[in-house]
Amino acid sequence: MELTNTSKYPQVIIVGGGFGGLQVAKALANKPVDVLMLDKHNYHTFQPLLYQVATGSLEAESIAFSLRKNFDNQKNFRFRIAEVTGVDPEAQVVHTTIGDRHYDYLVIATGSTTNFFGNKDIEHNAMPMKSIPEALNLRYLILQNLEEAVLQNTKEDREPYLNFVLVGAGPTGVELAGALAELRNHVLCKDYPELDAREMRVYLVDFLPKVLGPFSDEASNAAKRFLEKMGVEVMLNMKVQNYDGTTISFEGGKTIRTKNVIWSAGVMGVVPEGISKELIVKGNRIMVDNICRVKGYSNIFAIGDVAAMITPETPKGHPGVAQTAIQMGDSVGKNIIHIIRGEPAEPFKYNDKGSLATIGRNKAVADLGKIKFQGFFAWLVWMFVHLISLLGFRNKVVVFINWVGSYLSNNGGTRLIIRRYVKEAVPQENEPIPHTD
């Protein structure tokens, strides 16, 4: 059933409640449009702190914020929990699990998901970390494997449970590697006195020759130095060949026995069905013009990780970071109003505000334009920026208190196994995939 817009104002549908989607809606506040946001969750996730949820330092609720509550005072905003199953650009309709919705302007802000580069074994056996449910799955897997290690009688038997391999040395991999190293160095002996912390090994693997590839050489070298000092084994120029759930193998013959492989080696855009395949470029991103409008369409926009604005200045598109989505979202919101009023749209210009990554307690790297610094002050800047970027006053307070407690005690977090994580079996050929409600 199609539900048409009965309002006298144009209907703007935003698909996705991430950084970009939020910014579009904010830019359209009190404007002569009706805004409908669709997302499969009713909350916004602050993804930069997912790794702290995965390692038990923060609870999931402290990095999530209600989308409805965020727009309490915006009268032209509505929200619906729904999954978008397709788009019909000709009819100007979005197909969803709660019915069809007509739009006058559509903003695709669906973000990205983990890219396993077509390897089904890795996809099934490795752990991604792009959402709160995935971060919680990873937390429970880590804790369950530590509990299993306690039950093993020999070092050889404990080895696969205590080897942690992080594939992808970008900010996610680096920050998670640092968090796991701190767990080993400061927590393992307290929570698991039966285990020898030296048996827990953390590997950070990347096929590139440096960690934090997009960062400056100074930041990359400092991050590698910090990680190695914490006991992380950094393996660069190493390409993963396969992972079967018990052994990860690399080109060249090296193998590691492990039940803990965390995959952050790449992302790919989440593109709704109905967008022309000719417009999809590397990374499963949608080609857009200089105002983030999908090429070939007059009223469909794409922003953030799912958008590819290819220009001579940005031949590979813009970086897949929160600032890109936020700035694109603000630009698109303003340009929709310009278009409605018959005014010329303003080309998008990305303002690179710099990059930050933390490696652990008192350790971070910062590239802020020409200013580059590492260590304790960079760590303070990282904390301040992330704290003020969180949605909700309560979340800011809770996270700050957690951070202070963790800093003072070196033993933050609760690390409870609320539910067991059990990986689904791979369906055999011609066997239907089991459905779970």
Rg (CA), the chain: 23
The answer to whether residues 21 and 14 touch, using CB atoms and an 8 Å cutoff, is yes
Q: How far is CA 62 from the centre of its chain?
A: 16
Q: Is 147 a catalytic residue?
A: no
Paired strand residues for 327: none
> 244 — phi, psi (to 5°)?
-105, 10
C-alpha 293/C-alpha 275 separation (Å) is: 13
Q: Nearest to residue 57, comparing CAs of 261, 388, 361, 363?
A: 361
Of the candidates 148, 175, 194, 346, the residue annotated as catalytic is 175
The answer to whether residues 357 and 365 touch, using CB atoms and an 8 Å cutoff, is yes
Residue in the block written with tokens 């440096």 = 210
Q: Nearest to residue 275, comparing CAs of 291, 290, 248, 297?
A: 297
Q: Nearest to residue 37, comparing CAs of 50, 49, 24, 55?
A: 24
Residue in the block written with tokens 């008192």 = 362
Query: Which residues, at least 6 apart from 63, have a Cβ–Cβ distance to it below 8 Å?
Result: 45, 46, 49, 50, 52, 53, 132, 390, 395, 399
**What residues are labeled active site?**
175
